[in-house]
Amino acid sequence: MNRPILIATLTLLTACAPGGRVSSAPVSTSPPNAPSYQPAFPEQARAPEVTSKVAYQATVLVENLGKPWGLAFLPGGALLISEKAGALRIFEDGKVSAPITAGLPKIDAQRQGGLLGLAVDPAFAANGLIYFAFSEPDPAGGNHTAVGRAKLVQEGAGGKLEDVRVIWRQTPSLESGAHYGGRLVFARDGTLFVTTGERSILAGRMQAQRLDGTLGKVVRIRTDGSIPADNPFVNRPGVKPEIWSLGQRNVQGAALNPATGELWTNEHGARGGDELNITRKGRDYGWPTITYGIEYIGPKIGEGITQKAGMEQPVYYWDPVIAPSGMAFYTADLFPAWKGSLFIGGLKDQRLTRLVLKGEKVVGEERLLGELKERIRDVVVGPDGALYIATDSDKGRVIRVAPK
């Protein structure tokens, strides 16, 4: 479907403070999954609800895609889309290309696996390179997260891939269909951050604290797959040198803070304990030793503790969960009331969460786009200042959110 469809217009209440009108109550008033756990500091969870003065409209640009997972804009304004089932698309001038599949590596698209996050080389105008995360089957058994690189050649309203190669593979491979992570973010120095998961099963969970593998980690590589010399664990025997941070469960959202250049990520908790983190060099984010969530079947995880010396606290956490996915800092001028906000897609919550930030603290929260009633897999800011949303549903839609 190529013809844009207006699906919603919503006017919200008058803004009375930076970021909007602040309520004394949080957005979520549902009982927490882990009621015995308490935040480590004020507003680490359930920040006050903020309501902004924004009249917006959400317009469907494309639908009937194969569960779009990643969005990335090319320098000329075309939108690159990954479909979980294993194809790329290009949306430009109101039209979407045929699926681009030729040359892609073999993809294990079962359960949570598939073609995942995207990144466009900062020098794309000169080299045409794109990067994509995907779940790759291992010939020896199991599967893992991997990163591919290719030259995207645009041809008319479509394109093709050339010089495709895999530049990084997660180790070890496991028999699992979950927790691949899969976001790609370029750092200011041109290195590439790759988020992963610990594959959900117990054998992977216990690897999140180990340094001889890359499960439950954020890794940092160069664009050819080589290792930056200033990574935190370089030249340590028995340690994977690409590791940037450890102790992470399933990192499905990542973005650079435009004010600081630091990597911010979000990760899925179990029952309760979805986290927002500032993912710093060499830091341990605690999973599974500390968490604000509990097992899906009810018991506490491990010792049932939320703090431990040497392990980082989340900037913010959600209980009950929203199942966070793609995220983006908003720095454009199209929505002045939203400038400086952090937007995060919700899979379980089926809304777009807007966080109001003050430095490194979350001081307000707003939920948007509930009228869609769809899982929001990714959100990016377009060159026009609008928000672009990918929905993880059978409708398979890409939606543009702009002022009314």
Per-residue confidence band for 19, with pLDDT thresholds at 50, 70 and 90: low
Instruction: Say which of 179, 351, 375, 400 is annotated catalytic.
Output: 179
Find where tokens 């927002």 sit. Answer: 276
> Domain map of the chain by residue range?
5-403
Specify whether 268 is catalytic.
Answer: no
Amino acid letter, residue 132: F
Neighbours of 270 (CB within 10 A): 23
CB 389 within 8 A of CB 352: yes
Q: Reduce the secondary structure of the chain to three states and give it as a string.
A: CCCCEEEEEEECCCCCCCCCEEEEEECCCCCCCCCCCCCCCCCCECCEEEECCCEEEEEEEECCCCCEEEEEECCCCCEEEEECCCEEEEEECCEECCCECCCCCCCCCCCCCCEEEEEECCCHHHHCEEEEEEEEECCCCCEEEEEEEEEEEEECCEEEEEEEEEEEECCCCECCCCCCCCCEEECCCCCEEEECECCCCHHHHHHHHCCCCCCCEEEEECCCCCCCCCCCCCCCCCCCCCEEEECCCEEEEEEECCCCCCEEEEECCEEECEEEEECCCCCECCCCCECCCECCCCCECCCCECCCCCCCCCCEEECCCCCEEEEEECCCCCCHHHCCCEEEEECCCCCEEEEEEECCEEEEEEEECHHHCCCEEEEEECCCCCEEEEECCCCCCEEEEEEC
Burial of 232 from C-beta contacts in 10 A (0-12 / 13-18 / 19+): middle
In the predicted model, what is the mean pLDDT of residues 201-215? 97
Contact 242, 204 (CB under 8 A): no
- Measured distance CA(112)–CA(106) in Å, rounded: 16
Nearest to 184 by CA among 118, 109, 257: 118
Query: How many CB atoms are closer than 10 A to CB 307?
Result: 11
Beta-strand relationship, 324-329 and 129-137: unpaired
pLDDT-derived band at 11 (thresholds 50, 70, 90) equals very low
Q: Which CATH architecture has domain 5-403?
A: 6 Propeller (2.120)
User: Parallel, antiparallel, or unpaired for β 398-403 and 387-391?
Assistant: antiparallel
- 389 CB-contact burial (10 Å; exposed 0-12 / middle 13-18 / buried 19+): buried
Query: d(Cα 94, Cα 172) in Å, to the nearest integer?
Result: 42
- In tens, the pLDDT along 285-344 reads 999 999 999 999 999 999 999 999 999 999 999 999 999 999 999 999 999 999 999 999
Cβ–Cβ under 8 Å, residues 242 and 233: no
pLDDT level of residue 7 (50, 70, 90 thresholds): low
- Could you report the per-residue pLDDT of 57-86, keeping only the tens digit for each? 999 999 999 999 999 999 999 999 999 999
pLDDT, tens digit, 9 for 90 and up, residues 128-169: 999 999 999 999 999 999 999 999 998 877 899 999 999 999
Q: Are 220 and 192 in contact (CB under 8 A)?
A: yes
- Average pLDDT for 361-385: 97
In the numeric block, the tokens 């002045």 are attached to: 336
Distance CA 161, CA 152 (A): 5
* CB within 8 Å of 36: residues ≥ 6 apart: none
* Dihedral sign (CA 196, 199, 204, 209): positive
Of the chain, the percentage scoring pLDDT greater than 70 comes to: 94
CA 98 to chain CA centroid, Å, is 25
Mean pLDDT of the chain: 94
For the record, the structure tokens of 184 come out as 């790609």
Beta partners for residue 70, in sequence order:
82
